[in-house]
Chains A and B, each alone.
Chain A
Amino acid sequence: MKKSGSRNAFLTICIAPATILFFIFMIVPTFNVFRMSLFEKGAYSPKETFVGLNNFKVLLQDTNFIRSMQNMILLIVIVTIFTFVFAIVFAAILTREKIKGQNVFRIIFYIPNILSIVVISGIFSAIYKPENGMLNSIIGIFKDMSSPILWKGEKLVMVSIIIAMIWQAIGYYMVMYMASMSAVSESLYESAGLDGATKFQQFFMITIPLIWTNIRTTLTFYIISNINMAFLFVKSMTSGGPNGASEVALNYMYAQKDNGLYGYSMAVGVVIFLFSFALSAIVNKVTEREPLEF
């Protein structure tokens, strides 16, 4: 009895620092976001007025906010689909096939992850430059470019951001898929090969089912990271322009703080928080499968 008591005390002491820090830096701020969303307050003024759910009511009619949410959802969906497909195909090729210079490819694919987002934005801004930009110069070889394509113009700006985001994300997820793919036993492929299964069949019937738990985890990662990455890319590439065409929810939240609407921006934060939570939960539920053992 006494022994287990001291053991408990020891455990408490061990866990306490992490728990306290987590509480102070995670729970309290999150709670504060929810509380502040019910108030109206300038970012720098100490005065705050309680407005109830009014911030949320206005939010639902705010066309700029709705557009920023639409853009965010577009980014989550498109970037996730393309990154997923590219990452898993590249991972399968690099783990299953014998290619010369495999390691070089691995490194090349992973490099975008080491670069900071600001650097990537700079690279892509140069690529997208209307005059003398790499993309327009290449297209210019094949077709008359007297009126250059405006990659960062209102119509194409989202496409441009999507391309940059996919380029940035592929390497990271590829490495994650490769890790779990290399854990799949070689004998399964061998016997499948003897039974006459093609590479495609092997990929869909062996690889995918066996790394399914990993895929599920990464789907949640996609949602959370795309919300954050979208903010970073937009902030460093377009500042939400031109005329709000590339505004995303987190950037809108940030801008509202600058407009002197701290409570309103917290309300945006609450919506994003609940949205990402709900979406992750739904995705998690939908992709639930009996875990396969091998």
Chain B
Amino acid sequence: MKKKLLSALLSVAMVASLLVGCGAKTEAPAATEEATTEAPAEEAAPAEDVTISVAAIETAYGADMWAKVAEAFTAETGIKVELTTDKNLEDVIGPSMQGGEYPDVIHLATGREAALTEQFIKGNLIADITDVLSMTVPGEDAVVSDKIAGGFTDTSLTNPYGDGKTYLAPMFYSPCGLFYNAGLLEEKGWAVPTTWDEMWELGDKAAAEGIALFTYPTTGYFDAFLYALMYSVGGPEFFNAATNYEEGIWDTAEAKTCFDIIAKLATYTNPITPAQANDQDFTQNQQLVLDNKAIFMPNGTWIVGEMAEAPRAEGFKWGMTALPAVTAGGAGYSYTWFEQAWIPSGAENIDAAKQFVAFLYSDVACEIFAAAGAIQPVLGIADKLEGDNVMFYSIYDNGAKAAMGNFAAYESVAGLGSVREVFLDPVNSLVEGNMTQEAWVESIKEASDLMRANLK
């Protein structure tokens, strides 16, 4: 009797659970149906059912801001966004792009080791987005070109072919310069050098106290340094000639000054720097500045966030200065580093992608980015700055001139290294003393001839 009761109970329980299971199943589709019927109603008219895929590199600013911007964009235009963010974006989107499947918008700057953006530039695989500049920003009345700060769409970084057409949209800018521990200089009573001669003096003083004058995270950080140096030595004319590999440019007095300064700086560099100047250990070089083992390092404003968790010397305070002038009274330059967003010409939804690029300059997007520390190159952004950024971004108000641009793109040639390999990597050898300045300059000249011959 008891057994029967038990089995009856059990079977009831089984049937009940089955019903519950069915119930849940039948309920679920209803809910999704509702959701799908609701969504288009909200979306208003334009571009229904378009989904663009956006791939963005995750840097020191984090990935959250991209999710928020994508959400805001969908809310504004109804275009759905499929977002991919990764620290090694090249490895994530590279393989499918080799298979011919492209994201619609890619946010990935030049100058990275995998040089994916450079390859797209060299291969003419980027869509012309000149017309985006005259588009109105979604949700606003303003035209894109009215919002972007002056100069940002005239550089070789955005117009790589020099034909007046814009292919890459300028994103998050950051003044680059020499970062240092302002607390240390105050404590020692050392002034921030304004000329290279003062720099060397400071170097000797610091060396007497066992502090190196200089360090660098990796040789890659010398690009902004070299650009600013070329500007401060020879002005825009020299910079343009040099970045276009003009014949004989490396034999000029200006070039020699640049090489001399870097070679001399190498002797003032903390000797352990090259052993840590790789993509795995570079933060340890940055740590040298935090620990008062080196005074200056070339870097960008993201350094504050990147090293936020790192231990530091007592009284540490971030400071940033432009590159010193070559002669007393000369101009100090700070390179304006900025990232780029672009549309691969193989993308499926180019029109929707262009709307997304335009939206990146909207007030909404700029605020989301700024909250994460990423500063869009738009007019009036100065009001949105907070904390250390106020000081960093005011560098140009304090007398430093802005340097922009980069080495001109050249057709890849077998056996010819990248700009970084030719110009910057040997700095490691200079610091370790395994290479002479002459050998370095000689290899630059040789490579420069080849680069000129293969200019795009």
Contacts and interface: CB of A to CB of B under 8 A. Distances in A.
B349 interface: no
Nearest to A61: B415
Contact of A238 (B113, B278, B427): B278
A165 B120 CA distance: 36
Contacts of B413: 261
A236 interface: yes
Interface stretch (A80-88, A175-183, A241-249): A241-249
Given A40-B414, A150-B432, A258 B421 contact: no
Interface in B65-90: none
B412 interface: yes
Given A150-B271, A151-B275, A121 B119 contact: no
Contacts of A150: 271-272, 274-275, 432
B120 A243 contact: no
A154 B412 contact: no
A209 interface: no
A154 B120 CA distance: 33
A130 B414 contact: no
A65 B280 CA distance: 23
Interface stretch (A8-16, A41-49, A211-219): A41-49
B351 interface: no
Interface string A39-79: 01011111100000011001101101100000000000000
A87 B409 CA distance: 51
B425 A243 contact: yes
B97 interface: yes
Contacts of A55: 414
A280 interface: no
B275 A42 contact: no
Contacts of A47: 123
Contacts of A244: 421, 425
A22 B120 CA distance: 33
B159 interface: no
Given A42-B123, A150-B271, A260-B119, A243 B280 contact: no
A152 B415 contact: no
Nearest to A40: B414
Interface in A144-158: 147-148, 150-155
Given A44-B98, A260-B115, A260-B123, A239 B278 contact: yes
A221 to B, nearest CB: 28
Contacts of A45: 119, 123-125
A40 B426 CA distance: 28
A150 B415 CA distance: 30
B59 interface: no
B274 A153 contact: yes
A231 to B, nearest CB: 15
A259 interface: yes
A129 interface: yes
B415 A153 contact: no
A40 B413 CA distance: 9
Contacts of A121: 280
A168 interface: no
B37 interface: no
Contacts of A239: 113, 278-280
Nearest to B413: A261
A47 B278 CA distance: 33
A64 B425 CA distance: 13
A242 B275 contact: yes
Contacts of B118: 260
B147 interface: no
A261 B271 contact: no
Given A42-B123, A43-B98, A152-B278, A242 B114 contact: no
Nearest to A160: B275
B412 A259 contact: yes
B295 to A, nearest CB: 17
Contact of A152 (B115, B218, B275): B275
Contacts of A59: 414-415
11 contacts: A42-B119, A42-B122, A44-B94, A45-B125, A54-B414, A62-B414, A152-B281, A239-B279, A241-B218, A243-B435, A259-B115
3 closest cross-chain pairs (CB), A and B: A45-B123, A242-B428, A260-B412
